[in-house]
Structure 1
Amino acid sequence: MSEAALKLDAVALNAVLAKAFPEAGAHLPEVVEAEPGRVLMRQAFATRALRPGGLISGPTQMAMADTAAYALVLAHIGEVAMAVTTSLTIHFLRGAKPGDLYAEGALLKLGRLIATADVLIWSESRERACAKATVAYAIP
């Protein structure tokens, strides 16, 4: 992907996400980096994300994967609110220990109607990923 392929940077993506999900407030994941073909997001740790056993819950990780894919797609197509998830497949690799949650989205394909991304999720370190997701988005 060329530099021209990126339509929204991290600052613009955070503004778009805040506008799209105003009810999330301070709990909204933050886009830390955005570059052609890739985004990195961080979700600040909150005890409400824990499941019994003291690990970060699967639904929290799935939401993070979906949000990272959404941000990644918007980074490349611009502010298109009605880009929607068409599929999300996730593999949980190990328990996610309490701490900030990170998601790195990588664009696999950006078509006219569908975008597909891989998302790696971790809390301890990238080398100890807790989940890997493949997410597809329909582009209106």
Structure 2
Amino acid sequence: MSEDLTLKMDGPALDAFLRRAFPEADPDHMPRVLEVAPGLVRMVQPYASRQLRPGGVISGPTLMTLADTAAYVLVLAHIGEVAMAVTTSLTIHFLRGCKPGDLVAEAALLKLGRRIATADILLWTEGRDRPAAKATVAYAIP
């Protein structure tokens, strides 16, 4: 990848931005950044029983939301605080039922262009070696 992968925002700055950008969200239940590195972000969504669907597994919308959030945070980590970067596509593959627990997302940058950024996101609760879903997300950069 030949793009400039210099980080423009660290974990605390990204967490603070999310809280400012989404003031109505409960800060105790918002996803938070665990790790930021060039081309990579790892986040965790604290578990809450409202995330469950019938059958006792974490719902698809919860998984999609964290995948989209992780991609957004990954892009912002590399371009800076650009609130109007927006999702242009999100494709997700559900690999297994996602057991209740803190949900982890690991986002890896595939391409950071001038106008579009693309990332792969792996999601799990049981461990990285037992992924529940894999998503590819593209963001338009204004």
Does the residue aligned with 1:107 lie in a helix, a strand or coil? strand
**What residue ranges of structure 1 are gaps of 5+ in the alignment?**
none
Aligned residue runs from structure 1 range 23-34, under 5 A: 23-25=24-26, 26-34=28-36
Instruction: Spell out, residue by residue over 1:57-77, the C-alpha distance to the aligned partner (whole angstroms, 9 max, x if none).
Output: 000000000000000000000
Tell me the distance in 1 between the aligned counterparts of 2:4 and 2:101: 33
Distance change (3 Å), C-alpha of 1:32 and 1:92? same
- Match of 2:37? 35
Q: How many residue pairs get matched?
A: 140
1:4, distance to aligned residue in structure 2 (A)? 6.5
**What residue ranges of structure 2 are gaps of 5+ in the alignment?**
none
- Match of 2:21? 20
Aligned residue runs from structure 1 range 98-117, under 5 A: 98-117=100-119
Work out the percentage of aligned pairs sharing the same amino acid: 71
Instruction: Provide the TM-score with structure 1 as the length reference.
Output: 0.97
Query: Stretches of 4+ moved more than 3 A in 1?
Result: 1-4
RMSD: 1.4
Tell me the distance in 1 between the aligned counterparts of 2:24 and 2:39: 28
Distance change (3 Å), C-alpha of 1:4 and 1:54? closer
Which moved further from structure 2: 3-12 or 39-48?
3-12
Distance change (3 Å), C-alpha of 1:61 and 1:31? same
- Match of 1:122? 124
Instruction: Provide the TM-score with structure 2 as the length reference.
Output: 0.95
Does the residue aligned with 1:127 lie in a helix, a strand or coil? coil
